[in-house]
Structure 1
Amino acid sequence: MMNHILDKQLQTAKDISTLLVRSPSCSCVLEDVLEMMVNDWSIKGAAIVVANNRGSFNVLASYVSTKDYQERTSLQEYILSNLEKSSMLGEAQVTRRELLLLQVPLYLQDKKRGCLCIIADRELKVEKSWLTILEIISNQASQALEKELEKEKTRYYKSLFKSVLEGLTEGIILTNNRDIIYSNKVAMNLIHNDGGLMNTLDEMISKITNIAVNSVKVQVYMEAAENNNSTYFFEIETTDRKFLRFTKFPISKDSSPIKHWGYLINDITKRKEADKIKDDLIATVSHELKTPLTSIKGNVSTLLREDVIWSETDRKEFLLDIYEESERLNDLIEKLLDISKINAGVIKLDKTYVTINRIVEKLEERVIKRYGHIVNRHYADNITYHIDGGTDLLYIDEHRVLQVLLNLIDNAIKYGPEDGLIEVYAESQGRSVHFIVRDQGPGIPEEKLKKIFTKYYRIDSDLITMGSGLGLAICKGFIEAHRGKIWAESTQGKGSAFHFILPKK
């Protein structure tokens, strides 16, 4: 009889071993394993329990002989409530209370992390041979669980790695020098692979060639990259006026028989645009510095001539011209210093309480000082001022706000017609004040309207047009330093309106 029971137990252990080995997923068959044990050995139930980080236990899988829900729940609760933590550290342990609870340690990653639990009648005699079989089953379950944990760990890191790659702002493509192993969405968008299949390196090269302005260059670059065993990069211009930088880099060890490569794709369009804007700025600033210096030098040389006696009127005209060109130089230098402070984020505001009336009065004074004396250019007379709530107080840096208003008026005069009207509005609106400078200039194209407050941006890069292109960026910096907002509205052929709002406190 004993031999028959032992044979049955051994056969069950063999069947369980076969099931665990053949199953692709251990977690899917754990309950089947426990069911075989319960049914073949006529016990009440079995469970696999693992310890968690909080010092308590989680039931990984369980099976009980009864189909009654309450009884099933009761048996599972019995396992957890009578589980001895000592079994995690020692050998197999038998506890006899209302029922018999047999605990066989479960090893995970060379540590005792759980146990295989058997519930049976209290009077059941536990033979040593049966314990040995249970230990064998426990070891097999442990090995299967370890493999499952490794698979889960691999899946987790694979998912994490994919999430990182998908979260990049750069495109990335991984290849084995023939096939595409992986490519993120950014890469697909950059090379215009709209839902199409791209499985091989040749298909990738074809896609890049199709979007390039100069397809011959792409072929030359890709051949050079293929023959280069170290990091290699090249840049292309696309048909939709973008600039892409490709960096090919090795991701295989030298001993690997199959070479794996990565292609990092950066959209460098904005950087190229910034470089062009800076180049234009340097050319513009050079021109803006050279022109007044040439004029000043010419006027001084003329005044110093000993063979001519200049009248007081002539001398005054020469000196006035020198003064105006000096002011122009000073204005440019101040703008360069201001934009430098804005870029560094170190603008300091000297705030005081001033009324709206005072700001407008000071603005009128400065406009007259700057433009009132220019012969045949009575720009100051063409400016009208509208005030609403003039006695309201503002807590601002008066000098900086006047700089903004003067800059906007300068632009209105610079780009507007000789006799064009300019309107300045200052309106109190609750907790803020709304300023507007409206002109009758040619207007600004809609596609350029969003860029006009960008650092170094100029609407017209032609050097004939006066200005450094720094003014509006400085205006934006000063207004935002006051926690305000600035924007522009324009209709081509009808003029532009520049708005900014400042909080009163």
Structure 2
Amino acid sequence: MPYYINDGKLEENLLPFLMESVHQGISVIDKDLNMVFINRAACKMLDLPISVIKKNPSLQAIFRFNAERGDYGTGDIEEQVAERMDLTRRFIAHEIERERPDGRIIRIQGNPIGEAGFVTIYTDVTEQRTYEANLEAIQYELELKLENSVREVRYNRDLLVNAINAIDDGLIVFDEHNNLVLANIRMQKLYPSLRRHLARNSHISKIEGFQVPCSTEEYDNNGKKRFSKESKLHDDCWYRIEQSATVNGGKIITYSDISAYKEQTGKLQEHTNQLVKLLQKEINLSDTQREFVSMASHEFKTPLAIIDSNAQRIQRRIDNMPKERLAERVSNIRDSVERMQYLINRFMDFSSDEIAGIKVEAKTQKFRSTLEKLCHLHLEMQDHTVMEWNLDALPDLASFDQNLLDQCLSNILSNAIKYSDQNAPIHVVGKRDKRYLKIEVHDQGVGIPKPELSKIFNKYYRASTSSGIAGTGIGLNFTQMALKEQGGHIEVESVVGEGSCFTIFLPASIAIDTAQTEKASESLTQLSKSTEKIAS
């Protein structure tokens, strides 16, 4: 083969340089089927270690190495080697592509070198084949989409024509030059001359008796102008005529027969007003009934539980219960019955929206012992309840409505028990400062998520952590409103999974100090003596 080189030294190193520079793999075997040359690129593509070739350069040994590591798949190794040796001995030019175990695709081009041997060129065509496959898939997908689009257009065209003719409203379409494009059957019946003008694509001005509506200007959801008006036409019927713009600047006009609507509007409006009044009346009645049932079912739970717990204890120990203890149990039952009667009377006056207006029956009475007794009653209601209280900071006497305060604290204590695990301690602490008498109820229950704390006193609202636990969602609302009527309020702090602390605030002014009571008693005694002296 002729070539030109004017540097003798370059010729000595040219072949090794070229063999290592090209990206393709190259191998040469002699007529005895021994490997006499292979570059690094070929070794890398074939994953063939140089050490294997150096150890035994025969093509048979290389084939056996590949077969043993599974390059040729399953089967007898010697048969795989023999088959490939038979093909190689033919020294026939060939071009094939093989997929390597690692997924790469190698193109193999073999050509004989006369009778001296065989040269093979290896090219990694993985990316090229992947690209071709992706291109083919994209082309197929585009063809499929095009075919579907054509089919859909044809279907929609037929569907549109049938739909336009099937609708009850008249419909007429003009292009951007106000030439007639389409009019459905309903429109042609209203204006018979349209059939003639359709064939000519007449200008809108040529259609006898037809005018474009131009009254109330509106805008559709896309911000395009739309005109509408109501008009009585030549057939003595009322129509609502609406015009809107098309994408290409034309216009679509619809004629809707509203004669029956016009006739019935007055009657329907009158009936609607009557129904609204009746519905509002039913809603108010339903709300009142639901309010009463909900309040009663919730607020009766505590006195009923007290009655039941005391009755069970009397039943278990009726033969050996001391009279004093029996009298105490009976007194608890009677107090609970009176409390239920009180609640019934209060609920009869309880409106659907507020508790305001109910008269607070405040009087001077024992304050701390009343709260302690209430804690004791809740402690006895369930065997697993663990409750501790320290109310020493609160005054002995105060001016308050006992039934309302009992109900407020009962709601908080009941919730603390209901939303806590068995034997989880509940602490009730009394505090006092210049402004308030405070009753804190600490539990270790499920807690309330922080975003829900502002809603917890809303009527019927229940925290998400109360799921699966029975409740009506009105106890805290009742407590808040009842405390407000007594000049107090309630606050809550809570952490989910750790528990809650509800604090009842009552005005410190309701407290009656013992010193003040004794002083008032002495003043009354002196006044009595002075009165007797004057009388004598």
Q: TM-score range by the shorter chain?
A: 0.3 to 0.5
Structure-2-length-normalised TM-score:
0.34
Structure-1-length-normalised TM-score:
0.36
